[in-house]
Amino acid sequence: MSTRSYQGCWTCKRRRRRCDNARPTCQNCAQRGVDCEGYEVRLRWGSGIASRGRFTGADKPLEENVPPRPKGRRRDLSRERKKLQAQAQAQRDAPPESMLQPRLPELCQESSALYNICLTFQLSLSATDTPQFFEYFDTSLREFRSELARSTTLSDGTLTAGLLLCSIGLMHGMPWTMHLEGMHNILQSHTPDDPQSTSTPNPFRAYLLEVMGVMDIPCLAVGRQAPSIGIWRRFCRPTRPRHGIEPVTGLPRSLLDLLAGIDLDSTEQSFWDWPGEAGNFLQCYLWEAYRLAGILTIRQCERLKKPVSGNPRSLSKWRQPNSCPVDSSLLVARVLANLDALRLGCLERPNEDPFIKNSVLFPIVVAGLEAGVMRQNPQWQQAIRKCSLGSRQDEILLEFLEEVWRRGDSTLDINDLARAKDIEMGLL
């Protein structure tokens, strides 16, 4: 005999039947073909709900004052609909997809070398020591050089092929800056001498030029074999104020302007005065590490008495210690503190910004080059090792830093160490 359920749906309670508490509707109601009224909490009124006012003596609320609650299945469907709406909004708020991927088929029609370079790039992500990779790489290099020699204008397809070829080189220590030089020679032949008279490129062309400009920034390369050309300042830096995030590095364009100006017009004060950019906590950690690393880079250039670009420069008037008393050891500590906070934040929130940890190479290397500071604080060496991602690129750079730490010489130039081994590495 069915008994009354005190925890079942309202339909079973009213009919005094045992409820199986199934969600979103109980099976008893489903088998009997009746609507299940769900399990929501309902208010039970006493002898009167008010002692004063228009509800005096009422034993239940007025019908028009109580909005009807959706019953079991309708309520669950409403929740599911709201969840889908929230997911759709999150997708709209997410950063846009890569500008390159949907255009690849069309770009491969423009460039005969691009298809093979794409295969080589994909292979370089997993197996760079295999004969198959070197076979593909040699073919890609030969096809690109032939295509570049035939080109009178630099098409988007050829530019994309060259940038992917540079990416392979900068990740694995193979010479790559000569490709930038070859593409720039063609680009320059069709560009007016006055940058202000240059027509505004379409969004994808502007994106490719920004990638090329970032690769050409002197301080973002180790063992550079071809001198910097100044692509960022000429083709990517307009006269109006700079805003927004550059997608490849994840850095604000205004901060990249300062990095590109090292050896030219960027001073320590320029980095101290940088106002920042709106971003999440992980981005703020990264950008602060870059800002402080930029100051250290200027000091290291002063110490080595040579510009990072290989070009003559006028020395900054902003000198130590009178104008800027912050000691380099404090700057190193702050760089590593921000990088460690970024590392822990990525572990705690892995989906917030999954690729941001790939951008830490520049501040890691710059902080690690302070040999005297690192020898006095061996625990900071371990902090740098923890920030390493374990890629081939990281392994090569860490080997250079270990050599600097072993010698303990702050005037040892990492670029000389790289060139001695015929290695040209990017810090991207």
Q: Tell me the per-residue pLDDT of 404-423, one tens digit each, with 9 for 90 and over.
A: 999 988 888 999 999 999 99
Q: How many other CB atoms sit within 10 Å of the CB of residue 81? A: 10
CA gap 183, 188 in Å, rounded: 9
> Nearest CA to 175 among 414, 418, 424?
424
Give the pLDDT score at 153: 87
**∠ CA 256-231-179 to the nearest 5 degrees?**
115
Indicate if the pLDDT at residue 10 is higher than 80.
Answer: yes
In the structure encoding, which two tokens stand for residue 258, read together? 């300062």
CA gap 243, 240 in Å, rounded: 9
Decide if 72 contacts 37 (C-beta within 8 A): yes
Indicate if the pLDDT at residue 276 is higher than 80.
Answer: yes
| Average pLDDT of the segment spanning 197-226 | 87
**∠ CA 8-12-15 to the nearest 5 degrees?**
145
**∠ CA 342-345-346 to the nearest 5 degrees?**
85
Give the pLDDT score at 190: 67
Q: What is the pTM of this model?
A: 0.72
Higher pLDDT, 152 or 269: 269
In the structure encoding, which two tokens stand for residue 311, read together? 């070009």
Residue 202, classified by CB atoms within 10 Å of its CB into exposed (0-12), middle (13-18) or buried (19+), is exposed
Number of H helices, E strands in the chain: 19, 4
| Average pLDDT of the segment spanning 262-288 | 92
- Please give the single-letter amino acid code of residue 273: D
Give the pLDDT score at 15: 81
| Average pLDDT of the segment spanning 304-328 | 56
Sign of the dihedral through C-alpha 267, 272, 277, 279:
positive
Sign of the dihedral through C-alpha 200, 201, 203, 209:
negative
Phi, psi for residue 209 in degrees, rounded to 5: -65, -35
Which residues does 385 contact at the CB level (< 8 Å), separation at least 6?
A: 398
Q: What is the largest CA-CA distance in the chain?
A: 98
Give the pLDDT score at 49: 46
Indicate if the pLDDT at residue 54 is higher than 90.
Answer: no
In the structure encoding, which two tokens stand for residue 151, read together? 């080109």
What is the per-residue pLDDT across 164-187, written as a single tens digit (0 to 9) for each? 999 999 999 999 999 999 999 988
